[in-house]
Chain A
Amino acid sequence: MARSMPKSGFVLTVASAVSLWAVGAQANDDLIKMEKDAKQWVMPLGNYAGNRYSSLNQINKTNVNKLQVAWTFSTGVLRGHEGGPLVIGNMMYVHAPFPNTVFALDLNKNGQIVWKYEPSQDPNVIPVMCCDTVNRGVAYGDGKIFLHQADTKLVALDAKTGKVVWSVTDGDPSKGETGTSAPIVIKDKVLIGNSGGEFGVRGKVTAYNMKDGKVAWTAYSMGPDSDVLVDPEKTMSMGKPIGSDSSLKTWQGDQWKIGGGATWGWMSYDPQLNLVYYGSGNPSTWNPVQRPGDNKWSMTIFARDADTGMAKWVYQMTPHDEWDYDGVNEMQLVDQKINGQDRKLLVHFDRNGFGYTLDRTSGELLVAEKFDPAVNWATKVDLKTGLPQRVKQYSTEAGGEDKNTKDICPAALGSKDQQPSAFSPQTGLFYVPTNHVCMDYEPFKVAYTAGQPYVGATLSMYPPKGDNHLGNFIAWDATAGKIKWSIPEPFSVWSGALATAGGVVFYGTLEGYLKAVDAETGKELYRFKTPSGIIGNVNTYEHNGKQYVAVLSGIGGWAGIGMAAGLTEDTAGLGAVGAYKALSQYTALGGTMTVFSLPE
């Protein structure tokens, strides 16, 4: 290639490559340094490993019951508020759902607004967002704030002024492609995934050069090897090379082109291995009869080289999905002992109800156990083949089109949705917000129209038989695959958790409570009812020697759709039973951030 290139061009290329490398290396080092500074909260999941852990301990088990509200801030937006604020130096960055307003607040001046960015977006994007107009947060890197807007635009804002540095369009909302995911900055690139599995989009992750917004690589979830960025010989799955056309072989005809596998969840990164980890979502449609095959690589954990996007290993958790068990939930990277051996682990709590522990270097499956005992669609996961042992009674494929398959657990919401878990190195436990909901599922034939819902199944959701609560907040041992303790919650827990060195774990509830519990025992230590239901993630930071805990409230998201009016009718006078209560009896709309601290 260099031979045919004019000399001056070659020199230029080398020069820009060098300068890019320099910028990249620097940004990467910055973030790796910054994520270790507990005073700041520099990325949505707290660190590259996705641990949502803080070494701050001013607020601890003995004093958390004295917590009080330090200050509050309204985003001025009503719909579902997922994600949470970043804290970089003395600035806090707060985002909102559509219209995706971003505020920069000066913590030195009592949260004064330094700048506000409000993009102008075509409202036509609103109804093509399957589950409310949520956004999971902004990312920071190299003096810029990155916002992934609903209309799929990725915008780089000057962190000091809020001015647009560059902006690129990632997808086409008229075909149902939207943006909800939080970007992640890795070296000189910023990565985003897309949303739209309910509209038959083609899932992909795109890495943009942080400097100018040019595409560095795009990796599709399905299609030809060159699109999926897999090497038939080198990309591994369950210890074997995946072979050629690994995706195409598992679809009928061209169905992969509208096959879903959206990548709207969270990404993690291991700087030593230089691998980025994320999961892909459901294959489209929800009617499994209509799309024969394993539908690879939907429902898959990807480990990709951060520079090239090439997949090192893949693992499909739910081949040929029959229940909408997206694989997009966070990938927690931890180093723990398994059978006395130090292992580099990836821990993932999937929608399908299994908690997976894998070797993140090789993709070897080490543990796969149910993190909600109600899970019934599969008895277990075979650690050798990686395949779930399905139960025919709960197979919507076996039931067939126009047949209602009953009492499947979990429901399509999953035993856990996107709400990210936390990990405490002090206890070695994971703290997981979960759903405790089952469903009836009836698939039927559906026609594809670009930009229109492409669902093809009717669902009814309800609590598991004999239960009257819809969620649990659990502590999980990922080396053994066991629940350590479990706190029942009347509604799904849809808020991201936070673990701290103070021995306290925080999470929010759909009624709007911020709760603090003992990391060892799960004992409740503190609760405060915020203005609206919480589907945001709890963060913490330190400013002028004081530790703060911050959370966005603002009911909405899928939880706001499913539970606003209650899941089922209170027909038998069961009014006192929590599960039959409508969430709308507890909370109403409104985006507010509440910041807590200890009294002087």
Chain B
Amino acid sequence: MRLPEARIIAVILTLTTAAICSMPTAAETQEKAATTSRPADGGDRPYRIGADGKVDWAVFNGFRRYNSICNTCHGPDGAGSSFAPALVDSLKRLSYDQFLEIVVNGKEEVNTAAEKKMPMFGTNPNVMCYIDDIYAYLKARSDGALGRGRPPKHEDKPAEAAEAEKSCMGG
């Protein structure tokens, strides 16, 4: 899946209009995220899982990042909490674009029936530098390709991932 250019611009625009100029890397990361490491086969399966359960680095890293930040509301392994939706279900409906839009800008539903509020993560390097990995992990979970808990085996960290991390996280 590739992002239409208009969408990239929209996302970047949203980022800048949200006055997140203090972190120029966010927009760059965003663009990088949006234009690279999407599946080559045209489908939306941005992960690789071997017959022995070995997952690619992105899925593994996504597991780690998800379960240190997103899980504090969305529950362990994307399974949902008492107040935030199970992302294993949400990703059955949401496109990559929609997923990205919500992560970057947040979401709010505060009224007499709900007190739900997701913050904007557009400026958080711990999220945005790994957003494709988090997406890959959740998509694998949502597709039923990956069970709960820590993936038993994973591929080594590729040099490109290490490099991308270094430039994005600032050393």
Contacts and interface: CB of A to CB of B under 8 A. Distances in A.
Interface residues of A, number: 52
Interface string B106-137: 10101011111111010111110000000000
B12 interface: no
A458 interface: yes
A456 B67 CA distance: 10
Given A79-B115, A449-B124, A565-B76, 16 more contacts: A77-B115, A78-B114, A80-B83, A123-B110, A124-B119, A126-B110, A127-B119, A133-B83, A404-B150, A442-B64, A447-B169, A447-B170, A452-B121, A460-B67, A564-B75, A569-B149
Given A127-B119, A444-B64, A198 B147 contact: no
Interface stretch (A66-74, A231-239, A553-561): A553-561
B90 to A, nearest CB: 13
Given A444-B64, A458-B67, A460-B67, A124 B83 contact: no
Contact of B73 (A127, A442, A565, A582): A127
Contacts of B95: none
Contacts of A518: none
A555 B115 CA distance: 14
A308 B20 CA distance: 42
Contacts of B65: 458
Contacts of B75: 561-562, 564-565
Contact of B115 (A130, A133, A444, A560): A133
B47 interface: no
Contact of A561 (B73, B125, B126, B149): B73
A455 B69 contact: yes
A566 B86 CA distance: 12
Given A123-B117, A567-B76, A589 B123 contact: no
Interface residues of B, number: 43
Contacts of A146: none
Contacts of B118: 127
B115 A98 contact: yes
Interface in A177-219: 198
A452 B124 contact: yes
B119 A128 contact: yes
B17 interface: no
Given A123-B117, A561-B75, A459 B81 contact: no
A80 B82 contact: yes
Interface string A76-93: 111110000000000000
30 contacts: A77-B115, A78-B114, A79-B82, A80-B82, A123-B108, A123-B115, A124-B117, A127-B73, A131-B72, A132-B83, A446-B68, A446-B126, A449-B23, A449-B123, A452-B123, A453-B68, A456-B126, A459-B68, A460-B67, A460-B76, A460-B149, A555-B82, A556-B82, A561-B81, A561-B84, A564-B75, A564-B79, A565-B80, A565-B81, A569-B147
A439 to B, nearest CB: 11
Interface in B27-83: 63-65, 67-69, 71-73, 75-77, 79-83
A440 B81 contact: no
A292 to B, nearest CB: 18
Contacts of B76: 460-461, 562, 565, 567
A3 to B, nearest CB: 50
A571 interface: yes
Contacts of B119: 124, 127-128, 452
Given A78-B115, A561-B72, A569 B148 contact: yes
B81 A560 contact: yes
A457 B119 CA distance: 20
Nearest to B124: A452
A460 B126 contact: no
A543 interface: no
A546 interface: no
A265 interface: no
Contacts of A582: 79
B79 A566 contact: yes
